[in-house]
Amino acid sequence: MRAKQKLMTPEALAQVAARFKVLAEPIRLRILQTLQEGEMSVSAITEAVESTQPNVSKHLKMLQDAGLVTRRQEGNPVFYSVADETVFELCEVVCSSLRARIGIQAGAFGHTISPIKRRPG
């Protein structure tokens, strides 16, 4: 059993909700997943996530504002890296939960589903 935690203040809950809101966009998750390998330039991220540079830059700014990525400029190129590695722990918790849920749902069908056999001709 988990120890009972104190209730969070409305302000703290708003910050938690804001973090989840930032993570609620698939392209931002793809960007984070790409940056898990290490620091990358905006152009490399853009290519990796198969999007446009303006779109990727917009999402990188949101991730930066949320404290999830950090930005470094070297001349003209701008490089980003993950600033808060705990985001990957959170993603693993969610992914594990989804895998378990999908497994339970798939198991609910058990032996009732069999491949359709086509009749010749």
So what's the pLDDT on residue 49? 97
In a domain, 35, yes or no: yes
Question: Could you tell me where the DSSP H helices lie in 1-113?
Answer: 10-22, 26-35, 42-49, 53-65, 86-109
pLDDT at 58 over 60: yes
What is the pLDDT confidence band of residue 43, given thresholds at 50, 70 and 90?
A: very high
SS3 9: coil
In a domain, 72, yes or no: yes
Residue 9 lies in a domain: no
Tell me the pLDDT tens digit for each residue of 24-41. Answer: 999 999 999 999 999 999
Look up tokens 């609910």; give the residue. 108
Shortest CA distance to 35 belongs to which of 96, 93, 87?
A: 87
Q: How confident is the model at residue 113 (pLDDT cuts 50, 70, 90)?
A: very low
Q: Which pLDDT band holds residue 3 (cuts at 50, 70, 90)?
A: low
Per DSSP, 77 falls in state: -
Containing structural domain, residue 49: 15-83
Find the CATH number of the domain harbouring 43.
1.10.10.10
Question: What local confidence, expressed as pLDDT, does residue 5 receive?
Answer: 75
The pLDDT score that the predictor gives to residue 114 is 46
Q: Examine residue 92 and state whether it is found in any structural domain, yes or no.
A: no
How many domains in the chain? 1
63, part of any domain: yes
Q: Is-contact 62 18, C-beta < 8 A? A: no
Domain annotation covers residue 98:
no
| 37 domain-assigned | yes
